[in-house]
């Protein structure tokens, strides 16, 4: 069965630290890849997405993600986090562009001021 795994359920960092959140998926075909963020008390927002082309994708708020096809991975990165990045981050995969999203379990990120 298709699945998405996010390796860390909770991450705690200090401000200005670098961030990398792992995401791996199990599907051998064409995929669209997404990272969504949910800030406290807010709804899910699209952070960035990858469909094709340059495997290094830049999103909002200084986030980027790299698609490595050979590793079935789509890790999210940010060079220097801020307190306002405290949120829950979800990786999602859309196999074969059939619209249905397969979700990772989410990673709760806490940034200490």
Partner 1 sequence: GAVVSQHPSRVICKSGTSVKIECRSLDFQATTMFWYRQFPKQSLMLMATSNEGSKATYEQGVEKDKFLINHASLTLSTLTVTSAHPEDSSFYICSASASGGAHTDTQYFGPGTRLTVL
Sign of torsion over alpha carbons 13, 88, 53, 26: positive
**Rounded to the nearest whole angstrom, what is the least distance from the CB of residue 15 to partner 1 in the complex?**
27
Q: Considering the rule CB under 8 A, would residue 43 count as an interface residue with partner 1? A: yes
Binding mask 93-112 for partner 1 (x = CB under 8 A): -x--x-xxx-xxxx------
Q: Where are the beta strands (DSSP E) in the chain?
A: 3-5, 10-14, 19-21, 24-26, 31-38, 45-50, 56-58, 64-68, 73-78, 87-95, 102-103, 107-112
Query: Total number of residues binding partner 1 (CB under 8 A)?
Result: 20
Which CB sits closer to partner 1, 36 or 67?
A: 36
- Binding residues for partner 1, rule: CB under 8 A, are 32, 34, 36, 42-46, 49, 51, 90, 94, 97, 99-101, 103-106
């Amino acid at each position: 069965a298709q699945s998405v795994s996010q390796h860390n359920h909770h991450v705690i960092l200090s401000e200005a630290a670098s961030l990398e959140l792992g995401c791996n998926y199990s599907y051998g075909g064409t995929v669209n890849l997404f990272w969504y963020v949910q800030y406290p008390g807010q709804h899910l927002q699209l952070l960035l997405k990858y469909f094709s082309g340059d495997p290094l994708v830049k999103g909002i708020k200084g986030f980027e993600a790299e698609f490595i096809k050979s590793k079935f991975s789509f890790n999210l990165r940010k060079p220097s986090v801020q307190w306002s990045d405290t949120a829950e981050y979800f990786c999602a995969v859309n196999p074969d562009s059939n619209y249905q999203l397969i979700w990772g379990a989410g990673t709760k990120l806490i940034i200490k001021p």
